Amino acid sequence: MKQPAEVILRGGIDASSVVWLPDMPPGSFRADPFALWRGGHLHVFAEAFDYRDRVGHIDLLIFDRDLNLLECRTVLKTPWHLSYPFVFEADGEIWMLPEAFQSGALTLYRARRFPFEWEPVCEVPLDGPAIDATPFFYGEKWWLFYAPSHSKLAKKSHLHVAWSDSLTGPWKLHPLNPVRIDLSSTRPGGTPFARNGVINLPVQDCRATYGAAICILEIDCLDETQFSATVGEMLVAPPWMAPFTEGLHTLATAGSVTLIDVKRMDVSLHGKLGRVDGIIRQRLKRANVFRR
């Protein structure tokens, strides 16, 4: 969208500012968009998922200044599922911290040749594989907000925090983890920003469904021993976006451009058969790996 996040949070989504990504083939989708401007081009990184193999990878879409699509290709693919490609600049480098909890680890990547080539730099050891890990530099420290993966409920309702003096660690766990337990406002969902001295963390409202809406968690106290926050503005998919009104679970900023993802559920026979086929393929793949 050709609107900064703060404008959207105050007044909602303006239909005239929306630029839709190209459609995906049946049985697949893109989600979790994050972006950086570089060389006059907007580089959008997003999860690409196909129900036939059920293993997400990271796609790159490059746009010009007028948001015309110039190129689309896959830039990061692993044997395990990848999503939430949080891309950011720090220490003169460009980094990506994608979710890969099925690998059993959280791995920090660095651009070897931006935006197409990425190399793993280090693992970030926490209290288990992290979900939607979101880094933010604030108060001369790196803070990492994430959801734990130890249970299905915790993935959507617990917020954990870690901190470090360096992006590559060592990372220390916050002693109050989980610092917040609330199905409506904990799982990270986008790019944090500071406003009036307060950290604003986009988080997902998962009460009605996973990623039903985004709200802003206003963190007014954060240090190595304390944490407090209140819920601020909420953003939902407006009715004019129908049929994509069944969820909105990312709010990522890139200067004057804001990225969101909205969803619809395909309840057609074709959609259901595609999901069943994907589950069968995934289980057969795991069985073959086990037999080896």
Q: In this model, does residue 276 exceed pLDDT 60?
A: no
For residues 40 and 43, give the distance between their C-alpha atoms in angstroms, rounded to a whole number: 10
What percent of the chain has pLDDT above 70?
91
Give pLDDT tens digits for 182-222. 999 999 999 999 998 999 999 999 999 999 999 999 999 99
Please tell me whether the overall predicted TM-score, pTM, comes out greater than 0.85 for this model. yes
For residues 17 and 84, give the distance between their C-alpha atoms in angstroms, rounded to a whole number: 24
For residues 141 and 164, give the distance between their C-alpha atoms in angstroms, rounded to a whole number: 6
For residues 35 and 84, give the distance between their C-alpha atoms in angstroms, rounded to a whole number: 11
At residue 266 the predicted structure's pLDDT band, cuts being 50, 70 and 90, is: confident
Q: Determine whether domain 5-291 maps to CATH 2.115.10.20.
A: yes
For residues 67 and 215, give the distance between their C-alpha atoms in angstroms, rounded to a whole number: 26
Show the CA angle centred on residue 183, arms to residues 98 and 86, nearest 5°: 15
CB 56 within 8 A of CB 47: yes
Q: In this model, does residue 287 exceed pLDDT 60?
A: no
Q: In this model, does residue 278 exceed pLDDT 50?
A: no
Q: In this model, does residue 280 exceed pLDDT 50?
A: no
Give pLDDT tens digits for 24-34. 998 999 999 99
Give pLDDT tens digits for 80-119. 999 999 999 999 999 999 999 999 999 999 999 999 999 9
